[in-house]
């Protein structure tokens, strides 16, 4: 765990958001500092994935209240692509298949766009090929995936590895991984978690959205947050995840309601 | 010859054909005369004709046409057309405004048993074969454009392959438009003898951006077991009119594969009729129309299963931006007795702007009871989830849209087995989609 003096990367205040007019997020508060790992857990429908998508700028969601600062700038003033260039990365729960667009061409475009925006060197196709193959070793990925269309016909595990590969290339300041563990067998989980851990540094942070504690055995969080009904209702250390694993979520919800009733 | 008071537009076009010198071949003169008679009797279709419901030709009938000057074919040099050449195709026939340009053509190195020549040359050996097929497959009785083309029938490309001849490299048939307000009548006859194989690249380009009319007819005959690939690129000027009629006849176990790409012309119409005349014949038909601005591209196809065990697969895609209008009408006939036919047709359409428009009409007529016929049509926009995915990786909106548009077209383009054309078309798709977008 990092100290309170580490730089604040993400500051979320009273965030509210709707999808097709239905309020999903009802006032989220969260502070993420450089070097930290946060886990966001909670029952289905609690708003975890919505929170992740709102931060990345998904067009289906409307922000209706609150504010988010990313490294001191107003996140909602940035389009999705500008957020990516500023250093936000969303690992998709369901990575999108794009038949007809080659994985390597897509990743090179993304890499060079982000590099260019950061004033760093862009790579030509040959240089990029070497670079990406190096990163693929980290994830134990077959280079054959470069020649295929983006996520097209990939298995669930292959898609998740492809997400972490993109994370490795884009070197985000803040990676939001939305249920990256879902659909992974234990070996794939270990590889993917190893990749994420490898990419951690004192300068960046990771937000893990997950249902299950098992991912947190591999990527150890500094904070565990429980979401319910569009709010974070409890925050604890890594031991909270273990408690949730054995006791479920109901007790947290009950506890929150009692406090609410007392106030 | 009876000359009735025809449609003024048809009349104007026919002015030129009356002065044509007769051919030494009497059967050819006869066919021209018959076609002239039909052209006089017919009129330019309007949107009241079912076959032309979505395609309004009135801009064409308002146009003025000048007679074609022979100069174009004589003054162009190879350096003028360098950018149009296809490196994979060593053999090339070039027609400029419908006239044969020997200096631009490349005819050395023909495989034995194959002819690839203009009519004047080709008929020296191939007249009997031509007589059997020329103007016999694209009917002109009720098709004014085919009748006009046939009434003008003077020169064209003749491709014949004797039994078992395989031409490994593609042959390039290049039609270049250089004159404004001109009407040209490209003509092609390909006869693939039994067991023979070849690939024809039929290519329509322009060296000017004016209005003109290309009225093309192509007839392709595949004898038993023949295999023909037909790559057709329509890259006319954006002010041009392009009307094409193509008929393909397949004998037993023949395989015809077509890749037709329409990029140019203000109004284009491509009729492709494939008749399966022998058992077990197979047709694979791909089409792509990529249009923007005020372009209209109309593709009418007919896959006619007349014998048992036929197979047809078709994938037709339209990408329409701006206020463009794409039309697809895909007929599948399964005639009585054409049992065990296996046919699959897909029409997929991508609209890039709110004013773009597509009319797609699959049409199945089945008179046999033991067949498998599938068809489907979709019309959509750029997928919002795919767009977000690309943007979430930093790609700008316009680039992300271009990439997705490109990917939609790439499925057709990538199947063309000529790498230089694939590369050129991919570039065109990216450029064309970029110009259709707001700068980001």
Once rounded to an integer, what is the mean pLDDT over residues B122-138?
94
Q: Average pLDDT in the B160-164 region?
A: 97
CA distance B408 to B382: 9
Residue A3 lies in a domain: no
**Model ipTM?**
0.96
Q: Is A79 on the interface with B (CB under 8 A)?
A: yes
Query: How confident is the model at residue B432, as a pLDDT?
Result: 64
CATH of the domain at A203: 3.40.50.300
> In this complex, do B393 and A84 lie within 8 Å of one another by their Cβ atoms?
yes
Judge whether residue B5 has pLDDT over 80.
no
pLDDT the model gives residue B1: 38
Answer whether residue A23 is part of any domain.
yes
Q: What is the pLDDT of residue B66?
A: 74
Q: Does pLDDT of B222 surpass 90? A: yes
The answer to whether residue A76 neighbours chain B at the CB level (below 8 Å) is: no
Q: How far apart are CA B422 and CA A31, in angstroms?
A: 51
pLDDT band at residue B430 under the 50/70/90 scheme: confident
Cα separations (Å) of B30 from B6, B135, B143?
20, 11, 18
Amino acid B68: pLDDT:
76
Q: What is the DSSP letter of B66?
A: B
Q: Is the pLDDT of residue B94 over 70?
A: yes
How much is the average pLDDT of B83-91? Answer: 95
Q: How sure is the predictor about B112, in pLDDT bands with cuts at 50, 70 and 90?
A: very high
Cβ–Cβ < 8 Å for A216, A248: no
Contact between residue B350 and residue B433 where contact means Cβ atoms under 8 Å apart: no
In a domain, A229, yes or no: yes
Q: Is B70 on the interface with A (CB under 8 A)?
A: no
Q: Which of B386, B389, B395 sits opposite A109 (nearest CB)?
A: B395
**pLDDT number for residue B72:** 63
Interface test with A, best of B350, B383, B391, B392 (most A CBs within 10 A): B392
Q: How many domains does chain A have?
A: 1
Hey, are the CB atoms on A114 and B393 less than 8 Å from each other? yes
Cα B419 to Cα B408: distance, rounded to the nearest angstrom: 18
How far is Cα A159 from Cα A150, in angstroms, rounded to an integer? 9
Q: How many CA atoms lie within 13 A of B274 on its CB side?
A: 29
Residue B146 in this model has a pLDDT that exceeds 50? yes
The H or E element spanning position B285 is strand B282-291
Residue A12 backbone dihedrals phi, psi, to 5 degrees: -110, 125
pLDDT computed for residue B4 by the predictor: 47
- Give residue B7's pLDDT: 78
Q: What is the pTM of this model?
A: 0.85
pLDDT score of B437 more than 50: no
Residue B305 scores a pLDDT above 70: yes
* Band of residue B166 on the pLDDT scale cut at 50, 70, 90: very high
Residue B15 has pLDDT above 90, yes or no: no
Kindly state the average pLDDT of the residues B155-172: 96
Q: How far is A93 from chain B, CA to nearest CA, in Å?
A: 12
Q: Do A81 and B400 touch (CB under 8 A)?
A: yes
* A82 Cα to chain B: minimum distance (Å): 6
CA distance B363 to B365: 7
Whether A1 maps to a domain, the answer reads no
Stretches where chain A sits below pLDDT 50 are none
A72 touches chain B (CB under 8 A): no
Q: Can you give the pLDDT at residue B438?
A: 35
Looking at CA atoms only, how far is residue A224 from chain B in angstroms?
Answer: 25
CB of B93 closer than 8 Å to CB of B117? yes
> Where are the domains positioned within chain B?
8-278, 388-440
Per-residue pLDDT of B200-215, as tens digits, reads 999 999 999 999 999 9
- Distance from the A84 Cα atom to the nearest Cα atom in chain B, whole angstroms: 5
Nearest chain A Cα distance for residue B224, angstroms: 35
Interchain CB contacts (distance < 8 Å): A and B: 76
Among B390, B391, B393, B412, the strongest candidate for a mutation testing the A interface, having the largest count of A CBs within 10 A, is B393
Average confidence score pLDDT of chain B: 92
In a domain, A13, yes or no: yes
User: Does the distance separating the beta carbons of A60 and B384 come in below 8 Å?
Assistant: yes
pLDDT above 90: percentage of residues in chain A? 85
CA distance B297 to A203: 55
Domain enclosing residue A105, as ranges: 8-262
Residue B73 has pLDDT above 70, yes or no: no
Contacting residues of B for A85, CB less than 8 Å apart:
394
Chain A touched by B158 (CB under 8 Å) = no
Task: Indicate yes or no: CB of B394 within 8 angstroms of CB of A114.
Answer: yes
Q: What is the pLDDT of residue B427?
A: 83
Q: Which of B268, B285, B411, B373 is nearest to B326 (CA)?
A: B268
Is residue B434 scored above 60 in pLDDT? no
Tens-digit pLDDT profile for residues B31-40: 999 999 999 9
H or E element, residue B27: helix B26-41
Does position B170 have pLDDT exceeding 60, yes or no? Answer: yes
- Statement: residue B367 has pLDDT above 90: yes
Query: Which strand ranges, in their side-by-side order, compose the sheet holding B197-206?
Result: B99-100, B91-96, B171-177, B197-206, B227-235, B255-262, B282-291, B311-320, B342-351, B372-380
pLDDT in tens, B35-65: 999 999 999 999 999 999 999 999 998 888 8
Choose the weakest-confidence range: B7-11, B82-86, B197-201, B272-276: B7-11
B440 has pLDDT over 60: no
Contact, B189 vs B159, CB < 8 A?
yes
Element (H, E) at A245: helix A238-247
């Amino acid at each position: 765990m990092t100290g309170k003096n580490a730089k604040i990367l993400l500051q979320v205040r009273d965030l509210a958001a709707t999808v097709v007019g239905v309020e999903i997020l009802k006032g989220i508060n969260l502070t993420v500092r450089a070097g930290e790992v946060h886990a966001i857990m909670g029952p289905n429908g609690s708003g975890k994935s919505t929170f992740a998508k709102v931060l990345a700028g998904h067009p289906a969601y409307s922000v209706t209240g609150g504010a988010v600062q990313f490294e001191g700038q107003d996140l909602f003033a940035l389009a999705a692509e500008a957020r990516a260039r500023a250093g936000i990365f969303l690992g998709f729960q369901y990575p999108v298949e794009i038949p007809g667009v080659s994985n390597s061409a897509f990743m090179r475009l993304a890499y060079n766009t982000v590099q260019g925006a950061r004033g760093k060197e862009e790579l030509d196709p040959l240089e990029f090929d070497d670079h990406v193959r190096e990163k693929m070793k980290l994830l134990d990925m077959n280079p054959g995936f470069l020649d295929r269309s983006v996520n097209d016909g990939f298995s669930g595990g292959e898609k998740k590895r492809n997400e972490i590969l993109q994370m490795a290339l884009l070197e985000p300041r803040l990676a939001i991984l939305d249920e990256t563990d879902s659909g992974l067998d234990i070996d794939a989980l270990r590889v993917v978690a190893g990749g994420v851990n490898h990419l951690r540094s004192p300068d960046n942070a990771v937000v893990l959205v997950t249902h299950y504690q098992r991912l947190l055995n591999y990527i150890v969080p500094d904070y565990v947050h429980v979401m319910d009904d569009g709010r974070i209702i409890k925050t604890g250390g890594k031991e909270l995840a273990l408690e949730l694993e054995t006791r479920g979520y109901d007790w947290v919800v009950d506890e929150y309601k009692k406090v609410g009733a007392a106030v | 010859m009876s000359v009735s008071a025809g449609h003024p537009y048809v009349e104007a076009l026919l002015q030129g054909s009356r002065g044509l010198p007769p051919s030494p071949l009497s059967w050819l003169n006869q066919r021209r005369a018959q076609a002239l008679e039909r052209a006089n009797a017919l009129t330019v279709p309007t949107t009241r004709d079912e076959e032309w419901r979505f395609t309004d030709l009135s801009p064409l009938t308002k146009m003025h046409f000048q007679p074609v000057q022979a100069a174009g074919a004589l003054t162009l040099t190879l350096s003028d057309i360098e950018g149009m050449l296809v490196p994979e195709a060593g053999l090339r026939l070039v027609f400029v405004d419908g006239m044969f340009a020997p200096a631009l053509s490349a005819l050395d190195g023909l495989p034995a048993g194959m002819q690839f020549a203009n009519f004047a040359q080709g008929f020296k050996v191939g007249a009997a074969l031509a007589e059997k097929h020329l103007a016999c497959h694209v009917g002109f009785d009720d098709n004014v454009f085919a009748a006009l083309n046939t009434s003008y029938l003077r020169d064209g490309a003749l491709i014949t392959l004797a039994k078992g001849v395989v031409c490994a490299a593609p042959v390039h048939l290049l039609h270049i438009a250089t004159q404004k307000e001109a009407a040209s009548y490209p003509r092609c006859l390909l006869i693939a003898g039994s067991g023979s194989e070849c690939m024809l690249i039929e290519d329509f380009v322009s060296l000017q951006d004016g209005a003109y009319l290309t009225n093309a007819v192509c007839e392709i005959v595949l004898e038993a077991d023949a295999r023909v690939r037909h790559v057709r690129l329509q890259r006319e000027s954006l002010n041009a009119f392009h009307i094409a009629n193509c008929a393909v006849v397949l004998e037993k176990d023949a395989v015809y594969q077509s890749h037709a790409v329409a990029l140019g012309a203000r109004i284009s119409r491509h009729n492709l009729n494939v008749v399966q005349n022998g058992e077990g014949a197979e047709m694979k038909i791909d089409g792509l129309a990529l249009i923007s601005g005020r372009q209209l591209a109309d593709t009418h196809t007919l896959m006619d299963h007349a014998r048992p065990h036929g197979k047809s697969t078709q994938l037709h895609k339209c990408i329409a931006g701006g206020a463009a209008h794409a039309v697809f009408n895909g007929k599948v006939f399964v005639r009585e007795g054409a049992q065990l036919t296996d046919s699959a047709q897909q029409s997929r359409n991508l609209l890039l702007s709110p004013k773009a428009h597509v009319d797609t009409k699959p049409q199945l007529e089945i008179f046999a009871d033991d067949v498998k016929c599938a068809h489907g049509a979709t019309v959509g926009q750029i997928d919002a989830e795919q767009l977000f995915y690309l943007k979430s990786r930093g790609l700008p909106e316009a680039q992300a849209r271009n990439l997705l548009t490109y990917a939609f077209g790439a499925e057709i383009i990538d199947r063309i087995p000529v790498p230089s054309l694939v590369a050129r078309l991919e570039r065109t798709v990216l450029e064309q989609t970029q110009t259709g977008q707001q700068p980001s």
